[in-house]
Amino acid sequence: MARSRKETTISIRKLIIFHHSSGKSVRNVAKLVNLSHSTGQYVIKRFKEENRIENKVRKCRAAKFTESDQGFIIRKFVKNPRLSALKVSAEFNDKFSTPISPETVRRVLRAAGLNGRSARRKFLIKANITFLVPMVWRRKNEELNPKNLVRTVTYGGIGVLVWGCMSASGLDNDPMHMALNVRLWCLYKCPQNLKTPPQSPDLNPIEHIWRELEVRVRKHDIKTKSELKTVMVEEWMNIDAEITKKN
């Protein structure tokens, strides 16, 4: 790990110039102020050549966009904290002439006090689909703002039951899958069954299809149960046979 370099103060630089002007050598001056010989030599050289002991004022890079542009980005996330920097940067580039990257969007948000945090609650749909906790952009102490929360369906509460099957094979020995109606349906519709132990998602191909469905559904901004049902049915039908074969 590289050592951090401590900058010499103005008072020490003035002391170096004073002792050197009094006739002391660079080495003796460096010992007096407890600095290295090279540091003392550099301060004296700059004073002789440029007649200054202060550092040059660094020129800051011109701002890439205006306060109005930054306000556009901030308002987007204040209105919908679940937006992604990638999506907002793409929208910004379509509307304005100055292109920006997703990292620029993140810097603007952090400067405004908005930081990426995991939402406080988990959105659970019964029938083996658990949505990952999304990230929201929020300010400090705003974690309980309704915009920054994800609704939770607890056991025994109101939920959405999702049932599906795949033709390749795919019901494990979970008790809900071994109900009489399910077994009768499988007897006529799925003549070939894969025997797997209960709770074996890695061995059961349909569990990977649930994951595929989860990823696709999460790309939509869903607000109602009817929208959820429509999106899930559409995305389920869009999963082609090639994906099921891979799983």
Mind listing the pLDDT tens digit for each residue in 212-232?
A: 888 888 888 887 888 888 888
Instruction: Transcribe 105-130 into DSSP letters.
Output: HHHHHHHTT-EEEE-SS--EETTTEE
Please give the pLDDT value at position 98. 81
Task: Identify the H or E element spanning 19.
Answer: helix 10-21
**Confidence grade of residue 241 (pLDDT, cut at 50, 70, 90):** confident
> Per-residue pLDDT tens for 162-174?
767 665 544 555 5
Interacting residues of 19 by C-beta distance below 8 A, sequence separation 6+? 28, 29, 32, 33
Do 190 and 236 lie in one domain? The reply is yes
Residue 219 lies in a domain: yes
Residue 71 lies in a domain: yes
The b/e string for 27-52 (b: 16+ C-beta within 10 A; e otherwise) is eebbeebebeeebbbbbbebbeeeee
Do 142 and 102 lie in one domain? The reply is yes
Please give the pLDDT value at position 46. 87
Q: State how many domains the chain has.
A: 3
Residue 111 lies in a domain: yes
Expressed as residue numbers, the domain containing 20 is 10-50
The b/e string for 155-190 (b: 16+ C-beta within 10 A; e otherwise) is eeeeeeebebbbeebbbbeeeebeeeeeeeebeeeb
Residue 5 lies in a domain: no
Look at residues 118, 152, 186 and tell me which one is the last residue of a structural domain. 152
Residue 161 lies in a domain: no
> Per-residue pLDDT tens for 141-150?
877 777 777 6
**Confidence grade of residue 60 (pLDDT, cut at 50, 70, 90):** low
User: What value does the mean pLDDT of the chain take?
Assistant: 76
Residue 121 lies in a domain: yes
Residue 45 lies in a domain: yes
Angle at 60 between CA 58 and CA 66, to 5 degrees: 165
Residue 158 lies in a domain: no
